Amino acid sequence: MKSRVSFLALFLCVFTCTAFCFSETHVGKATDDYFKDLFNSGGDRGNGVYSEVTSFGSNPGQLKMYKYVPASAPTNAPLVLVLHGCTQTAQEIAARGGWNQLADRFGFYILYPEQQKSNNQFVAFNWFQDEDIHHGQGECESIKQMIDRMKTDHSIDSKRIFVTGLSAGACFTAVLCCEYPEIFAAGSVMSGIPYRAAGPNDAFMAMFQGKQHTPEEWAKLVKETNPDFTGSYPRMVIFHGTKDTTVNPINLQELVKQFTAIHNINQTPTITNTVKGFPHKLYQDEKGQTVVETYEITGMAHGIALDPGTGQDQGGSPGSFALAVGLYSSYYTLVSWGIAPNPS
């Protein structure tokens, strides 16, 4: 059994209750049976195969592994990791975000790590626990082993491995991109926090107030964990609601500082425009490549942004932590990664 600090239960209780209170479309308790019904009734079951993988290594983080294999995937297909939020399951984030249907459309595999209650009472990834956020340890190592298993079992393009997550899963997305820059091409943080913004004793401050550092200070936290790394860090796209009272929206700008700094570019956006009416910024390097991208979802509370419908860039199933606001963050994540076409 992994060790846990006494602060954890109180921290996650406040995290969960706040998110539920301010989620505009909370529809009740998320249970495995509920989301099995959602899949079976045409939610986001997809046309491929969603299944659990029970053997993938020593699994020091004691996580569960699920995968989605699309009905048809090309040779050397991309792999997308999707990390659920606090109180959620892998099946819930799949259904709410519409990820399996997107995998069928665009031909990529999905890996869904899932937290267990034995590790964390509220099934949140332990983004603030030192023993879980470093190479070869805890939950980081478990997810690395899952990726290796996917590469063994399927034709995966090692240069197109991506990761996204919501809330606690978003925080862990930042962890993975900073701990394993040699693995990930890009990430997508949805209502998250910078890498190493907090430990168990100051997670409240990082969530509700935000931790503010200079770009150089944020970069140091990343580079000191990989002092010998000389390659390129993953690109990053960030989505955050301006009315999020669970994870302070200031964290969007702190993430911008961290990821622009590790890419050695300044914090002035190269391009500023709107997408679906929402402020959108692109931060490009000297070669004109976008390495950091942000979407500020005006008026949105804590959750992922959805735009239910049948249009090219529409989708998702609204519910807890999944808000119909007129922009489909799953789709625009794939646009940022070069997997889906930009409809504009």
| CATH at 214 | 3.40.50.1820
Identify the band that residue 4 occupies on the pLDDT scale cut at 50, 70 and 90. Answer: very low
User: Which residues, at least 6 apart from 136, have a Cβ–Cβ distance to it below 8 Å?
Assistant: none
Q: Is residue 216 part of a domain?
A: yes
- Cα angle 169, 172, 173 (rounded to 5 degrees) comes to 85
Assess if residue 343 is contained within a domain: no
Counting residues of the chain whose pLDDT is more than 90, the rounded percentage is 82
Mean pLDDT of 9-16: 43
Range of the domain at 135: 7-337
Active site residues: 167
Q: Is residue 2 part of a domain?
A: no
The answer as to whether 247 is a domain residue is: yes
Does 6 have pLDDT greater than 90?
A: no
Q: Are 129 and 140 in contact (CB under 8 A)?
A: no
Q: How is residue 317 annotated by DSSP?
A: -
Angstrom distance (rounded) from CA 193 to CA 170: 7
Is 162 within 8 Å of 111 (Cβ atoms)? no
pLDDT tens per residue across span 130-177: 999 999 999 999 999 999 999 999 999 999 999 999 999 999 999 999
- Is pLDDT at 244 greater than 90 in this prediction? yes
The Cβ of residue 19 has, within 10 Å, a number of other Cβ atoms equal to 24
Is there a domain that residue 306 lies in?
yes
Q: Provide the domain count of the chain.
A: 1
- Residue whose structure tokens are 């789709």: 331
344 domain-assigned: no
Give 209's DSSP letter: I
β-pairing, 49-53 with 64-69?
antiparallel
- Number of Cβ within 10 Å of residue 338's Cβ equals 14
DSSP bridge partners of 238: 189, 294
